[in-house]
Chains A and B, each alone.
Chain A
Amino acid sequence: TQLLEQSPQFLSIQEGENLTVYCNSSSVFSSLQWYRQEPGEGPVLLVTVVTGGEVKKLKRLTFQFGDARKDSSLHITAAQPGDTGLYLCAGPSNDYKLSFGAGTTVTVRA
């Protein structure tokens, strides 16, 4: 089983501040995905990173895949209350499955 560890578990910041969420593994992944989940809803796919060292930007969100494809980070610039949610990273494991991290709960205070 390929495990993904996310840190920190909780993050509470003021509107306008920056934040970074980390996703780490001892295993190599062919790709990693990031999802955001709002309370009472299903997770929504934000991005997939595929190439080691890849950087993808989605408005104020920047995703990076580690050179060795064992880790990834999500950086949010000038966070807004709408960024509040549970951020999950996931990577393909065997037999059509995804391994999910335990998630980082982000709260952005107005």
Chain B
Amino acid sequence: SQTIHQWPATLVQPVGSPLSLECTVEGTSNPNLYWYRQAAGRGLQLLFYSVGIGQISSEVPQNLSASRPQDRQFILSSKKLLLSDSGFYLCAWTGPNASEQFFGPGTRLTVL
């Protein structure tokens, strides 16, 4: 069966510090991968998605970047965090020809 992992689960970082969030998927190959940010109790904002290794599509110009160094690994990064980067970050995957998305447990990021 397929599983998706995210770490860390929670993170508190000072303004101006770097960020690296990791997402890995097990039990599938060639997944489409997604990064979302969610404000408290609200819907999902798509940040990046990837349909293959090294292929990244950015949805919202901002302080963040994404990379996909391996087929089942998706990384969200920032060189210098802003207060507005605080939020709940979710990683998700789908099969290559499917639309249903399966989400990881999320990372709660607080920038102080």
Query: What is A's interface to B at a CB cutoff of 8 Å?
Result: 31, 33, 40-45, 48, 86, 88, 90, 92, 95-98, 100-103, 105
Q: Are B43 and A42 in contact (CB under 8 A)?
A: no
Contacts of A102 in B (CB 8 A): 42-43
Interface on chain B toward A: helix, strand, loop, or mixed SS? Answer: strand
A100 touches B44 (CB 8 A): yes
Decide if B105 touches A41 in the complex (CB within 8 Å).
Answer: yes
Q: What are 21 A-B residue pairs whose CB atoms fall within 8 Å in the complex?
A: A33-B99, A33-B100, A40-B108, A41-B105, A41-B106, A42-B103, A42-B104, A42-B105, A43-B103, A45-B101, A45-B102, A48-B99, A86-B41, A88-B43, A88-B44, A90-B101, A96-B94, A100-B44, A102-B43, A103-B41, A103-B43
For B43, what are the chain A residues with a Cβ–Cβ distance below 8 Å? Answer: 88, 100-103
- Residue from the list B99, B103, B106 in contact with A92, Cβ < 8 A: B99
B102: min CB distance to chain A, Å: 7
Flag if B51 contacts A42 (CB, 8 Å): no
Please indicate the chain A residues that have their CB under 8 angstroms from the CB of B81 in the complex.
none
Instruction: For chain B, residues 17 to 60, give those with C-beta under 8 angstroms from any C-beta of chain A.
Output: 32, 41-44, 46, 49, 51, 57
User: In the bound complex, do residue B99 and residue A31 qualify as a contact, i.e. CB atoms below 8 Å apart?
Assistant: yes
Chain A residues with Cβ below 8 Å from B102 are 45
CA distance A88 to B44 in the complex (A): 9
A102 to B99, CA, bound (A): 18
